[in-house]
């Protein structure tokens, strides 16, 4: 059974295996197909048109399915690997072990944002940025640039307290849990973390940075935490909503998965915390 752990609790061996599985997927080309898919949805999901992966109720089930697929790819390399999550309310500085050279490597240098240490630095030779929006082929970051701050636990609690899953108009203007978690409105959780990391993480090709998966694994866990806190609340909308994925409609790019299929994570993985 897959158990997703807090990245701060991983052993040296778990970190090594996770990194090696990422590098193997990069080498065989599968990694970049995930970047391509993500960017395609980033560019096509619009507030007034069809929207599936982002700025819509299906943001959470879509990314849950996307992460499951990626985790399965990692496990095709090493069956022991599970996606870790990054609790950015707790590990909120550049001094976190997350950014050490034995894991994801640190921030980018001032001149061009290039990450200079760790397994994903361009100098390591194993992490070319191929699916890109500009000419630069090296991983970039600007952790906390401009004095930006990651969300606090109090910010997270204020969003977990929202009892309504989502609300019309079911997009970036919505009230409710989903849009506050996504960050287009209010204290801003998910979007703010992308911006705090900077580099490719701030772009449509954000999965080029492996921290994408750890960030989204924590967003996914917050959805599970919200469900436990609000057992009488459920995914919305349930039917008949133009341009939006209703509870039992299938989600592109898959043809066989609906939000209803993704509500319970436990058939796929559990968390290291009581869940």
Partner 1 sequence: MSGITRRRALGAAAGAAAGLAAAGAAHAAIRTTDPRPQHAPGGATAVPGSFDEVYQGRRIQGHPTHHGGHGGGRHGGHDAGYTVRVDGEELHVMRNADGTWISVVNHYEPRATPRALARAAVTELQGAALVPLALG
Calpha distance 252→231 (Å, rounded): 27
Residues 108-127 that bind partner 1 (CB under 8 A): 112-113
Cβ–Cβ < 8 Å for 129, 138: yes
Q: Collapsing DSSP states into helix, strand and coil, what is residue 6?
A: strand
- For partner 1, the closer of residues 85 and 138 by Cβ is 138
Q: Collapsing DSSP states into helix, strand and coil, what is residue 263?
A: coil
Q: Would you count residue 219 as binding partner 1 (CB under 8 A)?
A: no
Q: Would you count residue 184 as binding partner 1 (CB under 8 A)?
A: yes
- For partner 1, the closer of residues 112 and 232 by Cβ is 112
Smallest distance from partner 1 to CB 202, Å: 6
Residues 34-93 that bind partner 1 (CB under 8 A): 35-37, 39-44, 46-50
Q: Collapsing DSSP states into helix, strand and coil, what is residue 48?
A: coil
- For partner 1, the closer of residues 8 and 167 by Cβ is 167
Longest dimension (CA), the chain: 51
Residues 6+ apart with CB under 8 A from 271: 3, 4, 5, 85, 221, 224
Which residues are at the interface with partner 1 (CB under 8 A)?
29, 32-33, 35-37, 39-44, 46-50, 112-113, 128, 130-136, 169, 171-173, 183-184, 190-192, 194-195, 202-206, 242-243, 252-253
């Amino acid at each position: 059974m897959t158990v997703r752990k807090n990245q701060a609790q991983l052993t040296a061996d778990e970190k090594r295996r996770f990194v090696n599985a990422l590098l193997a997927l990069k080498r065989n080309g599968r990694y970049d197909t995930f970047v391509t898919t993500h960017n395609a949805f980033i560019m096509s999901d619009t507030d007034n048109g069809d929207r599936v992966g982002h700025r819509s109720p299906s943001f959470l089930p879509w990314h849950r399915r996307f992460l499951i697929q990626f985790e399965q790819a990692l496990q095709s390399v090493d069956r022991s690997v599970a996606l870790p999550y990054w609790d950015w309310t707790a590990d909120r500085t550049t001094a976190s072990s997350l950014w050490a050279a034995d894991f994801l490597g640190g921030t980018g240098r001032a001149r061009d944002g290039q990450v200079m240490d760790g397994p994903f630095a361009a100098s390591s030779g194993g992490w070319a940025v191929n699916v890109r929006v500009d000419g630069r082929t090296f991983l970039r970051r600007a952790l906390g640039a401009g004095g930006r701050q990651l969300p606090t636990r109090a910010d997270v609690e204020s969003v977990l307290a929202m009892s309504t899953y989502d609300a019309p108009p079911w997009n970036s203007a919505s009230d409710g849990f989903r849009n506050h978690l996504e960050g287009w409105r209010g204290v801003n959780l998910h979007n703010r973390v992308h911006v705090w990391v900077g580099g490719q993480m701030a772009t449509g090709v954000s999965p080029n940075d492996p921290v994408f998966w750890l960030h989204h694994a924590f967003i996914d866990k917050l959805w599970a935490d919200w469900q436990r806190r609000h057992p009488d609340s459920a995914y919305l909308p349930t039917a008949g909503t133009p341009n939006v994925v209703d509870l039992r409609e299938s989600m592109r790019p898959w043809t066989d998965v609906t939000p209803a299929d993704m509500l319970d994570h436990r058939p796929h993985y559990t968390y290291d915390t009581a869940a």
